[in-house]
Structure 1
Amino acid sequence: MSRSTALEGQSFHLIGVGGAGMSVVAELLKGQGAEVTGSDRQDSAVLQSLITKGIGAYFPHDADRVPEAATVIISSAIRESNPELIVARERGQNVVHRSRGLALAAEGQPFVAVAGAHGKTSTSAMIAVALLNSGVDASYAIGGPVLGEGSGARVGSEVFVAEADESDGSFLHYAPAVEVITNVEPDHLDHYASRDEFIGIFRQFVDRLIPGGTLICCAEDAGSAEISQYGRTSDGREHRVITYGRPERSIVAPEVEITDVVMTEKSAAAVFNFEGQSYPLRLGVTGEHSILNAAGAWAACVACGVDGMVAVEALGHFRGAGRRFELRGEVGGRRVYDDYAHHPTEVEVALRQARIVAGEGRVIAVFQPHLYSRTLSFADRFAEVLSGADEVVLADIYAAREDPISGVTTALVANSPKMKSGAHLVPDMDEAARKAALLTKPGDVCILIGAGDIFLRAPLVESVWLEEDGK
């Protein structure tokens, strides 16, 4: 990570520092010269990585170890009953949301914010990779490692790229120069009462654009297209609106037209047509969603002043983001992938990508639902999209920040009339992974799906295959 001294002499303590979003904020604050400590409920590879970077991370939470002079940073997942938060409030310490910590780390640089129910991490990572390979000294804060860069955080000096979290409205703390909205499909219905309320928070996000800024929206998504129209018609606006998409699938006419899309098992290609010029793209990852994300990323780079041809060539260096259809192992012609998908649309996309990679082989999916509220809201839809796999193994719900809801279990998905594939309800994660491994034959793809900790079972899947092969 690059190093500056903008925050030298300041102290920060992050509660829940092992989380994907919190860990990158810790790295960025450290990279800006601040003294950084943090805690989490349990040990993890992320926690150990932070320690090696000079961050005073520890577990479990311990009120006696909270530095008295530190600004305390929390996410929406931290409850008021957390002992460290209790002592910080009793002392009158400054307590701020993660988004404010991120905004502090971004001060002094044009902010490129990527929002949407899906695709934030991959699109943010694409922008970061493309900017860096275009010669721009970019900072970034991304909720997963950028493959090839080794981390989800970097301190640069020219542009700041970050995911903008709509789940609790905290992205309204930012004042972006560029906003990319990949989609506006209702989610987080534990926080938002209706689709209208969810759409409304994105309108407020557009209102946060600085004068002269650029709003970039996917024309293929109904919600994002609606927001693009809001951006064009808002009174007194001094910003540019750019939409992107395939003309035949777009709801509004896209300024960046995507044509000549070609998919292979390991790559994707397309042509971006913009303002009378054509820009051929070749990506080192596959999937139609990757082409869409790349179009939004390309438009963001152009909005940052990068030449269009330079930007499209720089995107070719992108090799993926951690836990976004990431290959975790291969044994005897069987491959195991990990994907962070936790909304039905994301699961559908992940399985479509798995189908491309599997070719004539089968797709075996292990799904760990994320949140009781989301499982309750989308049980039938999860069952419908999971039917895109040949075999489905369903593990227990990952609670994250929620308490259990009576009657809400993974059985809602397993027993849904929309479930068409063979469904195996195996609550224990180890046993679920083992079951999936045994179902996977040479030539097949096994994919571990969910935003919880199911990804930790990838080595177990490999070990089952090694045992089967007698190695």
Structure 2
Amino acid sequence: MSLVKLVEPVAAEELGRVHFIGIGGAGMSGIARILLKRGVAVSGSDARGSDMVTALRELGGVIHIGHAASHIKNVDTVVVSTAIRDSNPELGEALRQGLRVIPRAAALASVMAGRNAVAVAGTHGKTTTTSMLTVALQKCGVDPSYCVGGQLVTTGLGADEGAGEVFVAEADESDGSFLMLAPDIAVVTNVEPDHLDNYGDPRAVYDSFARFVERVGRTLVVCADDPGSAALVPIARARGLRVVTYGEAEEADFRVGEITPDGMGVSFAIHGHGGVRLAVPGRHNALNAAAVIAVAAELGVPFAAIRDGLAAFTGAKRRFEAKGEAGGVAVFDSYAHHPTELAADLRAARDVVTSFSGSGRVIAVFQPHLYSRTRFFADEFGAALGLADEAVVLDVYGAREDPEPGVSGALVAEKVPLPPGQVEYAPLREAVPALVADRARPGDIVLTMGAGDVTELGPRIVAELAAR
């Protein structure tokens, strides 16, 4: 959207009457929900109805299905989703009227203003870490407001207004809009090249995180194990920020040790504090939890309280989410769409299989997301899928991109270092449930992965297994 540029946010009370174009999206609907609960007049439009639209109407929002210039009436501020094109009639009318037009991130910054704001950024793990922090603080009685890029299992919501002074938000770097946020405390879980369709080259990704640090008001929390995030430490210290580190590194302020798979969860220790058990699996989640513990300490929450809060976290939607079990085969779904994320989830799946049976296998069902990302990372995707026992690779979910010659799921499948017969390229999505059911046997885990409509296959695989 070339017509909508990055802008400095204003305080929420200055937004006036707010109209959201594309209000049904997860991020947009969450901000709208918070504004409505604060008594702000909210209207909006979306291409289709949804449960989110219904919920906003119940809170008093005036929501239109379909887009029309006539919807821009008695409005002061217009918030625009990244999915909205410049040709949208509502956007055109807002610009014609000279209204304040801002992207979602600026609206998020507005509702965060005046709170003790915590923003969680990073190439991977930000949704889970933000969700984990939110649930743990809720269990500690902090009652934060929150805005997450996914849905909490505990509430079914991705955003809500809390009674406390803390505001927890996920900071999305995909389009650089996280540079509109100005949190008091920021977490950077890791920094790796991604979204190169937007950034162009890896250096620009690292530079954007350095600029994000310049927006932080008080404390930067970083993973000492990750070179990309650790590189931000001298930048933060030069600005006079307090820096807190976590990870398995010896020098970490919150040092993680003794990580042990524990059924569907993981147990670990924070040196000098004590043991922690999570109900979600994987070394990466132990590190995410250490970030939460570090933030909680900055907020004055005792270790014992946040440890108990973490024990109550059962996950976020599409983050190693259980979809069902049939015929002794457990099926999970993950939003993983970057090689590092695939590797982390497949290692977690291996831990779960080993913990329960020791003899089960891990079957990965992967749908590459975006033609550009598939082209950039085909080799790395293949290597990550090699951590599974069997891999089924779907065709690319193009989302906002047009197809590229020579770029398909086959490009990834041919890079998977598994023996012949244990890797299959499956361009016909409808055939995948039966194909997976043919391969699976009791004790196995099936993990569907990707940011596209692969998520719809989990229940269908369970149904196919049950029918055998």
Residue 176 of structure 2 aligns with which residue?
169
Cα shift readout 1:299-337 (whole Å, capped 9, x = no counterpart): 011111212232222222111111100101112212111
Indicate the larger mover: 201-210 or 52-61: 52-61
1:451 aligns with 2:451: yes
User: Percent of aligned pairs with the same residue?
Assistant: 44
Indicate the larger mover: 402-411 or 129-138: 402-411
Q: How does 1:31-110 map to 2 (within 5 A)?
A: 31-51=37-57, 53-57=59-63, 59-67=65-73, 69=75, 71-110=77-116
Per the normalisation by structure 2, the TM-score is 0.90
1:323–1:417: structure 2 CA closer, same or farther, 3 Å change rule? closer
Assess if the C-alpha contact under 8 Å between 2:326 and 2:462 holds in 1: yes
Residue 216 of structure 1 aligns with which residue?
221
1:338–1:56: structure 2 CA closer, same or farther, 3 Å change rule? farther
Indicate the larger mover: 22-31 or 342-351: 22-31
Q: How does 1:74-223 map to 2 (within 5 A)?
A: 74-156=80-162, 157-210=164-217, 213-223=218-228
Distance across 2 between alignment mates of 1:66 and 1:463:
46
Residue 226 of structure 1 aligns with which residue?
231
Assess if the C-alpha contact under 8 Å between 1:261 and 1:268 holds in 2: yes
Aligned partner of residue 300 in structure 2, secondary structure: coil
Cα shift readout 1:174-211 (whole Å, capped 9, x = no counterpart): 1111010000011111111322221111111111111x
Q: 1:293 aligns with which of 288, 294, 304?
A: 288
Kindly report the root-mean-square deviation, in angstroms, between the aligned alpha carbons of the 2 structures: 2.3
Distance across 2 between alignment mates of 1:415 and 1:82:
41
1:303 aligns with 2:298: yes
Q: Which runs of 5+ in 1 are unaligned?
A: 1-5
Distance across 2 between alignment mates of 1:339 and 1:418:
22
**Aligned-residue offset at 1:259:** 1.6
**Aligned-residue offset at 1:8:** 11
1:116–1:446: structure 2 CA closer, same or farther, 3 Å change rule? same
1:289–1:10: structure 2 CA closer, same or farther, 3 Å change rule? same
Aligned partner of residue 370 in structure 1, secondary structure: coil
Assess if the C-alpha contact under 8 Å between 1:9 and 1:35 holds in 2: no
Q: 2:256 aligns with which of 255, 258, 274?
A: 258
Aligned partner of residue 197 in structure 2, secondary structure: coil
**Aligned-residue offset at 1:115:** 0.3
Aligned partner of residue 273 in structure 2, secondary structure: strand
Residue 3 of structure 1 aligns with which residue?
none
Distance across 1 between alignment mates of 2:306 and 2:211:
29
Q: 2:266 aligns with which of 265, 268, 290?
A: 268
Aligned partner of residue 191 in structure 1, secondary structure: helix
Indicate the larger mover: 264-273 or 421-430: 421-430
Aligned partner of residue 288 in structure 2, secondary structure: helix
Aligned residues: 451
Assess if the C-alpha contact under 8 Å between 2:385 and 2:416 holds in 1: no
**Aligned-residue offset at 1:231:** 1.7
Assess if the C-alpha contact under 8 Å between 1:112 and 1:160 holds in 2: yes
1:66–1:259: structure 2 CA closer, same or farther, 3 Å change rule? same
**Aligned-residue offset at 1:411:** 2.0
Distance across 1 between alignment mates of 2:433 and 2:106:
38
Cα shift readout 1:49-72 (whole Å, capped 9, x = no counterpart): 545555444544444444451522
**Aligned-residue offset at 1:44:** 4.7
1:69–1:50: structure 2 CA closer, same or farther, 3 Å change rule? closer
Assess if the C-alpha contact under 8 Å between 1:216 and 1:243 holds in 2: yes
Distance across 2 between alignment mates of 1:271 and 1:404:
47
Assess if the C-alpha contact under 8 Å between 2:23 and 2:46 holds in 1: yes
Residue 244 of structure 1 aligns with which residue?
246
Assess if the C-alpha contact under 8 Å between 1:368 and 1:454 holds in 2: yes
Distance across 2 between alignment mates of 1:463 and 1:110:
46
Partner amino acid, structure 2, of 1:255: D
Aligned partner of residue 217 in structure 1, secondary structure: strand
Distance across 2 between alignment mates of 1:365 and 1:246:
28
Q: Which runs of 5+ in 2 are unaligned?
A: 1-11
Aligned partner of residue 231 in structure 2, secondary structure: helix
1:378–1:297: structure 2 CA closer, same or farther, 3 Å change rule? same
Indicate the larger mover: 333-342 or 434-443: 434-443
Indicate the larger mover: 426-435 or 304-313: 426-435
Distance across 2 between alignment mates of 1:50 and 1:427:
38
1:466–1:84: structure 2 CA closer, same or farther, 3 Å change rule? farther
Residue 8 of structure 2 aligns with which residue?
none
Indicate the larger mover: 401-410 or 183-192: 401-410
Aligned partner of residue 232 in structure 2, secondary structure: helix
Aligned partner of residue 220 in structure 1, secondary structure: coil
**Aligned-residue offset at 1:155:** 0.6
Aligned partner of residue 247 in structure 1, secondary structure: coil
Distance across 1 between alignment mates of 2:24 and 2:406:
30
Distance across 2 between alignment mates of 1:177 and 1:97:
21
